[in-house]
Structure 1
Amino acid sequence: MRLAISALAATAMIAGPALAQQSPMPEDLAWKLLELGRVIDPPKTAALYAPLQQKEPYQGVKVERDLKYGPADRHLLDVFTPEAAAPTPARPVLIYIHGGGFVAGNKRVPGSPFYDNIMLWAARSGFVGVDATYRLAPAFPWPAGAEDMGAIVKWVEENIGARGGDPARIFLMGQSAGAIHVASYVSHPEFYKVKGGGIAGAVLVSGIYDLTASPVGDAELAYYGSDPSRYAERSSLQGLVASPIPLLVTAAELDPPRFVAQFELLKQATCKRQRGCARSFMLPQHSHMSEVYAINTPDTRLSDEILEFVKSVK
């Protein structure tokens, strides 16, 4: 099997022996991700990472499930807070927005450790964690995602103080379609429900930022519609460049090529700003799904970048 690995795998393994030696990813797991290749395959990737994750009940963490932030059935969020023995200073807040191609996905599937894994890492790393879901296309097309981001941030700003969170230090993180919704929110102030957007920073993991840069697929058509003349105004690239909100932009080495190209596009666009480039990071060895499934395992490369980004935002 390994002798038949594609040129992609061989190229990736040549990327740097020193890096491979320092990697917290077991070699066998790295090979399995390479064998899967540049695909988006949640079931097969989850099968690799689920055994590395914790199962409920979670020690030392309080979990509140399915709190309502709006009227729709999917206007739900979970809050993870550490069970501190004594009062502590208000903690920064990490909101996580899942992917699913605009038409699927959830903050949690019963029996799965995802995306509780991100919330557990957040609660044990100095944050209050908020895991939220949102309305889906095609029933709820553009701009439902950005509208829901605004409603989530508003709920958090109003309610997180009672749970030990700092409403002035809210960080909004999304992956794949979740990153696109976060980017849409940041870049379109008309969807803000609180002054200035209500967030201290945004973390964009493997998103699409310019719909005009490559052909759109069925998922984008379901959410953005079939009129290409609207794609530029509904894209987030220019708004992200103009926004004063700090950004961390990431993608995975084994992402499908379109996501890598969009990562480079946004990275280069922000570098033309007077204030300089946005913080960016290409995650080695990982794929589109493993980048977030690996959070709360010994592989801390992405979570370390998130921590450094949060510390850098004053």
Structure 2
Amino acid sequence: MDCLPAFGTGIYEVLVPTLEVYTPLIEANAARIDAASVQTYSYGEHPRQKLDIYLPTESGSSSTTPNPILVFLYGGGFTNGDKVNQNKPLFYRNLGYFFSQKGQLETIIIDYRLVKHGAKFPDGGEDLSEALAWVDRRYSGQKRPLFILGNSAGGMHACAWLFEPIFKDTRRALIESSNGIRITGIVLVGVLYHFGYSTASLKERLASYLGTELDHYSPMISARRCLESGELMSAGLPPVLVIDSELDPDDILRATQDFISVLRKSNYLEIKYLQAQGHNHISPPLALGTGIPGEEDWAFQVLSFINGLL
């Protein structure tokens, strides 16, 4: 982690050197990571609609207290990403290992459609919605708290599901559920909540998924519409933990504070904020499974957030 500041803060300039730093740290723990029990399923008809389930070593103490569930959506700018990195297969297995073994959470990592598969907004939110419906069917009748962890572009998909009106009925059913999975908390890591501080070149890349009116679909504008609709006042949403990294790009850091300010206008929504010290935009998920306390501290704080809601 100490070498990360020298790489800068731009996403594309830190990507390769950050991977080079964390690859040997994760490979040193490959035996433990690979020992995690994982099962793969299809949650929809599209070839990309698959998920991996990482099983905890300890099950709930009884059938009435099963393990909580964590659903993770990785980043990749809407154009890249896989639940298991094809070139470095320990990523994101390391994340599945960490949360299933250190947190005893049944950890689900989903693949979703990318731009190269024809994805356009709100397809990522729809894939998340389908995955949650699959999970709900799988655990029908089991009262299980479920948490969503979205990183970067994956966090934008989580925000679409959380705030866009097209998903209102499905999210209300899962947030208010009393006999099945229940959305209990949301964690957003390194999300670009609006594009007011972003460069023209970044906006052009994001438009491949969001369309030319991309500002209309930014998480902050979606949240503002949800707030103005009265939904946050009438029923509320689960608590949200917003995380950015000390070395995130400036547009993410500034937009994060704007997003928090919008959400805090609702008295029915609990917002917590955490900055991952020493990390850049790429490093938080890569650091999990290293066994190095400072590297994994952000994730242990996520576990504290989750445990505080159980």
Query: Post-superposition shift, 1:213?
Result: 6.2
In the other structure, the counterpart of 1:61 is: 36
- Does residue 312 in structure 1 map to residue 308 in structure 2? yes
1:134 to 112, 115, 132: 112
In the other structure, the counterpart of 1:73 is: 47
Map residues 53-202 of structure 1 onto 2, 5 A cutoff.
53=26, 54-55=29-30, 58=33, 61-65=36-40, 67-84=41-58, 89-110=65-86, 111-124=88-101, 125-137=103-115, 139-160=118-139, 168-191=144-167, 193=170, 195-197=173-175, 198-202=182-186
Give the whole-Å Cα distance in 2 for the aligned partners of 1:119 and 1:288.
Answer: 19
In the other structure, the counterpart of 2:243 is: 250
Judge conservation of contact 2:151–2:190 (CA < 8 Å) in 1: yes
Query: Post-superposition shift, 1:120?
Result: 0.5
Map residues 295-310 of structure 1 onto 2, 5 A cutoff.
295-297=288-290, 298=292, 299-310=295-306
Deviations 1:114-169 (A, max 9, x none): 1111110111122001011100126110110111110111111222479xxx6531
SS in 2 for 1:284: strand
Moved more, 258-267 or 206-215: 206-215
SS in 1 for 2:30: coil
Output the TM-score relative to the length of structure 2.
0.81
AA of the residue aligned to 1:120 = Y
Give the whole-Å Cα distance in 2 for the aligned partners of 1:176 and 1:306.
Answer: 16
Judge conservation of contact 1:211–1:235 (CA < 8 Å) in 2: no
Deviations 1:218-252 (A, max 9, x none): 33201111135744699433257535221010000
In the other structure, the counterpart of 1:205 is: 189
Moved more, 234-243 or 200-209: 234-243
In the other structure, the counterpart of 1:222 is: 208
Give the whole-Å Cα distance in 2 for the aligned partners of 1:313 and 1:307.
Answer: 10
In the other structure, the counterpart of 1:3 is: none
Cα distance, 1:232–1:83 mapped onto 2, change above 3 Å: closer
SS in 2 for 1:91: coil
Judge conservation of contact 2:59–2:66 (CA < 8 Å) in 1: no
Cα distance, 1:186–1:213 mapped onto 2, change above 3 Å: farther
Identical amino acids, percent of aligned pairs: 24
Deviations 1:251-280 (A, max 9, x none): 001001111112111222233322475011
Give the whole-Å Cα distance in 2 for the aligned partners of 1:167 and 1:189.
Answer: 26
AA of the residue aligned to 1:129 = T
AA of the residue aligned to 1:52 = L
SS in 1 for 2:89: coil
Q: Where does structure 1 lack aligned partners over 5 or more consecutive residues?
A: 1-28
SS in 2 for 1:207: coil
Aligned length: 281
Cα distance, 1:103–1:85 mapped onto 2, change above 3 Å: closer
SS in 2 for 1:131: strand
SS in 2 for 1:90: coil
